[in-house]
Amino acid sequence: MTDDVPPDQVVSEPPVVGIPARVDVGELVMPLDIYRLDPGGLSTISRAHMVLMADCLGRHGIEFEIPEPRPIPWARNEQRYGLTDEARAARHGYHVPEITDRPPLREPRLPDDIADECLAWARRRLAQGAPDLPERRLADMLSLRTFHLSREDSRVRAAFSAWSRCMRQNGFSYPDPMAANNDVAFATVRCKRQVRVVEVWAAVEAAYQRQAIEAHRGPLELVRQAIQVQLANAQAVLAGRTYR
């Protein structure tokens, strides 16, 4: 965790409301999600940023071709606890061809002063009207912190131990699912499902996230407001110009 976010005063492991029988990671919602951009929101802001960059560079006589959007190929929390799809594990392992097989982006060479000017202008346009934020990445940093806290939680470690026993029955030895390599992706996912690793981990991390929200509610509310303003600004930019 960075020094920008004071560590939460975790006296003991927070209580868990309940462990669900099954979790659909494609629909998984975490408490901190309302303070973070989802993939659709990220795409909207990114596209608007490109449109603004093109406008600014055009005023300097530089033609800028807006690249095609590159959507994230999964839902917000679908990969949070690693691979969970048995069919995908059997077909691709941990590889993500939707990303790795994409052709590289061609980035134009721009004069540094003009590029910096246009980047700053685009950011100001998208943030216009948003509240000032002491730390605009607060929710992301807290999300990273709760992930690591939950990973070391005794209830999650117990689920990892059960997963390791399942893996040993299949002839593999790993301390936890995050340590497994591509060769055992299918067994990793099957054992995760059998011992309910994701169900336990998601429930435990949700408890840590609720704790974090209570500790940082005021600043997080400013982050939420800023996201709403940015999205509205981005949608207005895109509505005013056809996206190529």
Residue 50 has pLDDT above 60, yes or no: yes
Please indicate, yes or no, if residue 127 is contained in any of the structural domains. Answer: yes
Q: What is the DSSP letter of 241?
A: S
Please indicate, yes or no, if residue 2 is contained in any of the structural domains. Answer: no
pLDDT (0 to 100) of residue 241: 58
- Who wins on pLDDT, 5 or 122? 122
Please indicate, yes or no, if residue 151 is contained in any of the structural domains. Answer: yes
Please indicate, yes or no, if residue 26 is contained in any of the structural domains. Answer: no
User: How does the average pLDDT of the chain come out, rounded?
Assistant: 89
pLDDT (0 to 100) of residue 70: 77
pLDDT (0 to 100) of residue 244: 40
The Cα–Cα gap between 85 and 239 comes to 37
pLDDT (0 to 100) of residue 97: 82
Amino acid at 59: R
Q: Tell me if 139 sits within 8 A of 216, measured CB to CB.
A: no
Please indicate, yes or no, if residue 103 is contained in any of the structural domains. Answer: yes
Please indicate, yes or no, if residue 181 is contained in any of the structural domains. Answer: yes
Q: Which two tokens stand for residue 214?
A: 């209570």
Residue 194 has pLDDT above 60, yes or no: yes
The residue-averaged pLDDT of 129-147 equals 92
Domain tally, the chain = 1
Residue 242 has pLDDT above 80, yes or no: no
pTM for the model stands at 0.87
Phi-psi region of 241 (alpha: psi -120 to 50; beta: other; left: phi over 0): beta
Residue 110: domain span? 34-239
The Cα–Cα gap between 35 and 95 comes to 29
211 burial class (0-12, 13-18, 19+ CB within 10 angstroms)?
buried
pLDDT (0 to 100) of residue 163: 97
The Cα–Cα gap between 149 and 35 comes to 19
Phi-psi region of 67 (alpha: psi -120 to 50; beta: other; left: phi over 0): beta
The residue-averaged pLDDT of 33-49 equals 94
Least confident range from 31-35, 160-164, 179-183, 190-194: namely: 179-183
Sequence-ordered list of residues with C-beta below 8 angstroms from that of 54, at least 6 positions apart, any chain: 64, 65, 66
Please indicate, yes or no, if residue 87 is contained in any of the structural domains. Answer: yes
Band of residue 53 on the pLDDT scale cut at 50, 70, 90: very high
Q: Does residue 204 sit in helix, strand or coil?
A: helix
pLDDT (0 to 100) of residue 221: 96
Q: Tell me if 84 sits within 8 A of 194, measured CB to CB.
A: no
- Who wins on pLDDT, 12 or 53? 53
Residue 46 has pLDDT above 50, yes or no: yes
- Who wins on pLDDT, 69 or 127? 127
